[in-house]
Amino acid sequence: MKQRYYFCIRYLPDHADCGLLTGRCISQMHKFMVNNQQAMNQIGVSFPNWGVDSIGDTIAFVSEDKELLIGLSFQPYFSVMKEEELFELSSVSEVREGAAEVRFVRNQTIGKSFIGSKKRRMKRSMARAELTGTESLPVANEEREIDHFHRVLISSGSSKQDFVLHIQKEHVGNRNITNFNSYGLATNQDKRGTVPDIHC
Residue 154: CATH number of its domain:
3.30.70.2540
Q: pLDDT-derived band of residue 195, with 50, 70 and 90 as boundaries?
A: very high
- Asked if the model's pLDDT at residue 156 lies above 90, the reply is no
Q: pLDDT-derived band of residue 157, with 50, 70 and 90 as boundaries?
A: low
Residue 186: per-residue pLDDT: 96
Mean pLDDT of 177-186: 94
Task: Mention every residue, 6+ apart, whose C-beta is less than 8 A from residue 173.
Answer: 101
> Using an 8 Å Cβ cutoff, are 92 and 5 in contact?
yes
> Using an 8 Å Cβ cutoff, are 58 and 84 in contact?
no
Q: Categorise residue 199: left if φ over 0, alpha if ψ from -120 to 50, beta otherwise.
A: beta
Comparing C-alpha atoms, which of 78, 100, 102, 83 is closest to residue 180?
102
Residue 115: per-residue pLDDT: 47
Residue 155: per-residue pLDDT: 81
Mean pLDDT of 42-57: 96
Q: Are both 24 and 96 inside the same structural domain?
A: yes
Domain encompassing residue 117? 111-146
Q: Are both 137 and 182 inside the same structural domain?
A: no
Percent of the chain with pLDDT over 70: 80
Q: Are both 133 and 44 inside the same structural domain?
A: no
* Residue 115, Cβ density class (10 Å: 0-12 exposed, 13-18 middle, ≥19 buried): exposed
Q: Are both 102 and 129 inside the same structural domain?
A: no
Q: Are both 137 and 38 inside the same structural domain?
A: no
The upper half-sphere exposure of residue 110, i.e. CA atoms within 13 Å in the direction of its Cβ, equals 17
pTM: 0.82
Quote the CA–CA distance of 188 and 181 in Å, as a whole number. 11
Q: Are both 141 and 153 inside the same structural domain?
A: no
Q: Are both 40 and 131 inside the same structural domain?
A: no
CB atoms within 10 A of CB 16: 16
Q: Are both 86 and 183 inside the same structural domain?
A: yes
Q: Are both 85 and 141 inside the same structural domain?
A: no
Mean confidence (pLDDT) of the chain: 87
Number of domains in the chain: 2
For residue 101, what is the DSSP state?
A: E
